[in-house]
Chains A and B, each alone.
Chain A
Amino acid sequence: MWVLATDFLPASILYSVLVTAIITLLIAILFGSIIADYALQATDFLAKAILLVTREENQIEAPDAKLLGASKEFLSELAKSIYELASTSDNLSKHDNSELPFYRFLANSIPLPVIVLNKDRQISFANESALNYIGLPASEVINQAFYDAMNLSFVSSLTLESWLDDCVKNVALKNEIWERVRLNLPNNTRKQFDLAAHYSNNDPNGLETILVLYDRTNIYERDDHDLTFVALAVHELRTPLTIMRGYIEVFEDEIEQELNNEQLAFMYNMSASAQQLTSFVSNILNVSRVEENALLLHLKEEKWQDILIPSCKDMELRARVHNKKLVYDIAENLPAVAVDKVSIYEVLSNLIDNAIKYTHTDEDILIRAYEKDGMVETTVTDKGVGIPESLLGHVFDKFYRAHQNKNSTGGTGLGLYLSRAIIIANGGTIWVDSKEGKGSTFGFSLPLFSSVADQIKSEDNGSIVRGAHGWIKNHSLYRE
């Protein structure tokens, strides 16, 4: 079976464009930084492609098994030969309609799902692997808007759609690779894959984007199960941890006056560490809730300073035991915000905790809150180590940590990812401004209560309930 939208261009041209594009893309992937695991799959395709492109007859043999076990040297040689082949487009364009079956076979024999989009982001072509992968008949795929046929979620804020928007505005030719893309299927099932995209705006036939999917469902699902397991295990930490904090509090309340300075410092260290462990535990639990879309927020009218100041006071102990001070610049008379106070506490805790962790001097940490553009903005500024510019775009990604030196800093790489999910669910935005060696400012905005008052009052219990979509869907991000 093969499927093609032929109403606007001859099939042979489409196929030869396709072959060129796929080969270019695979070359880009091979020469680029894509993970070595793909090499084998790519070899499979490259080998077939070489055989197909160089043979005169249409009789196609399966690629030699020996080629699949090829060494790296062989792979680079192979890639080079194909690149040369592909770049002399004469080789491909000289094929005419009589060679259509040849191209058709080529496209459909690729063991990877391949999808081609036109300028309107409709699916012009999907090979057999792609149709099998999506699990839809050709009639529901071809000529359909891409996002109607495929419900995708991306882990980072760069989605396929935002990337394409950017490409259309700025470039003629670009490649991009995403990891951990989710394809959400009916019956609550999903597949997970890495996605390679090649964009080119100078194709005369209106073909604009070619997508190649590398299925990684097994590996990524295993990661997700690990997280679920960790969440279950971590849940068991809550009771003993609550008890420890309770007893530490008894000491603070009842024997503080009897301790000498060193003992007092020990008690505060103990208290701050127990608090930090508590944040860690709730981060893990909440990330697993975000993943399952089970983190529900209750947005209510709150005076922002009544939440911000007590939350920061809780964090002051942590700052103090690390010889740092929190200083405040909070505007008077801030308007009321609509916020879920339990989850926003976690955001503040994560941001301040990071500021403490990544400041190795005794510089103060500044917390500001002010009204701007109909939102209340809050920032946490440190004069710590800062974040290299090249990594700034990834700080809100899952498992991301700018500083891998585990000796000086702890952390799961989940705090900012979670903070972002929480802020978005609260109806705000989160951002970072940082310079390596100078320090970082993390900020977030929250909607004014007045902007959602009508909606809140119309609910039964006077609050809006929202879920946190940790996975940013193309749909929800651009269409709501």
Chain B
Amino acid sequence: MDKQKPNGKKILCIEDEHFISELYARALRRAGYDVTTMLSGEDGLRAAESDEYDIILLDLMIPGITGFEVLRRLRQETPNLRAKIIITTNLEQEDESRAEIEKMADGYLIKAEFTPRQLVQIINDIAEDKQPSDSYLE
């Protein structure tokens, strides 16, 4: 995949697994996105509240306050948040809690089910406000 020109869209990636965030950030930057990575729930929440992002990738299992808590607080305290929030996780949620998360989030991705290249396609679709064409979004 060739390197794309900056497209002006900003992504916040809240992910504590360094290799994963490196891979996501690298693939997304090559696709033209401006990517910021955060390692913990607190830092992620603070960054998200600045409301300068178009898309937030949020891991559920992160140190400090959990991804679920970050999601809940954002929805509660910043109801007009511009960013679309996409959950990324390796956890298989029980169907009920997953349904609860899906209600609050704009997408739900299981990390093992997509590669960085596929992530770029999914994010492109979301950024363009299209129904994701080949994604695992519910």
Contacts and interface: CB of A to CB of B under 8 A. Distances in A.
B29 to A, nearest CB: 12
A272 to B, nearest CB: 14
B118 to A, nearest CB: 9
Contacts of A310: 134
B115 A250 contact: no
Contacts of A253: 1, 30, 117
B138 interface: yes
B56 to A, nearest CB: 20
Interface string B92-106: 000100000000000
Nearest to A296: B95
Given A238-B90, A238-B111, A243 B20 contact: yes
Nearest to B102: A461
Interface string B75-109: 00000000000000010000100000000000000
B113 interface: yes
A243 B117 contact: no
Contacts of A374: none
Contacts of B138: 298, 461
Contacts of A296: 95
Nearest to B94: A294
A64 interface: no
Chain A interface mostly helix, strand, loop or mixed? helix
B136 A243 contact: no
A242 B111 contact: yes
A241 B112 contact: yes
Given A238-B111, A239-B111, A241-B112, A246 B19 contact: yes
A1 interface: no
Contact of A245 (B17, B90, B95, B115): B115
Contacts of B27: 246, 249-250
Contacts of B112: 238-239, 241-242, 278, 281-282
Nearest to A244: B19
Given A249-B117, A253-B117, A461-B138, A242 B20 contact: yes
A281 B117 CA distance: 21
B32 interface: no
A298 B98 CA distance: 14
A298 B117 CA distance: 24
A137 B19 CA distance: 61
A391 interface: no
A243 B23 CA distance: 8
Interface in B15-63: 17, 19-20, 23, 26-27, 30
Contacts of B23: 243, 246-247, 250
B113 to A, nearest CB: 7
A278 B118 CA distance: 15
A342 B20 contact: no
Interface in A236-278: 238-239, 241-243, 245-247, 249-250, 253, 278
Contacts of A246: 19-20, 23, 27, 115-116
Interface string A269-303: 00000000010011000000000000010100000
B59 to A, nearest CB: 11
Contacts of A242: 20, 90, 111-112, 115
A242 B118 CA distance: 12
Contacts of A243: 17, 19-20, 23
A241 B136 CA distance: 19
A209 to B, nearest CB: 40
Nearest to B99: A461
Contacts of B17: 239, 243
Contacts of B20: 239, 242-243, 246
Contact of A342 (B115, B117, B136): B136
A230 to B, nearest CB: 16
A243 B90 CA distance: 12
A242 B24 CA distance: 11
A247 B20 CA distance: 10
A245 B115 CA distance: 7
Contacts of A239: 17, 20, 90, 111-112
* Most-contacted residue by chain B among A241, A249, A281 (CB, 10 A): A249
A278 B114 CA distance: 11
Nearest to B118: A249
Given A242-B111, A246-B115, 17 more contacts: A238-B111, A238-B112, A239-B17, A241-B112, A242-B90, A242-B115, A243-B17, A243-B19, A245-B115, A247-B23, A249-B27, A249-B116, A253-B1, A281-B112, A298-B138, A306-B134, A461-B138
* Nearest 8 A/B pairs, CB to CB: A246-B23, A238-B112, A243-B19, A253-B1, A246-B116, A242-B112, A249-B115, A249-B117
Interface of B: 1, 17, 19-20, 23, 26-27, 30, 90, 95, 111-113, 115-117, 134, 136, 138
23 contacts: A239-B17, A239-B20, A242-B20, A242-B90, A246-B19, A246-B27, A246-B115, A246-B116, A247-B19, A249-B27, A249-B115, A250-B23, A250-B26, A250-B27, A250-B116, A253-B1, A253-B117, A278-B112, A282-B112, A298-B138, A306-B134, A342-B136, A461-B138
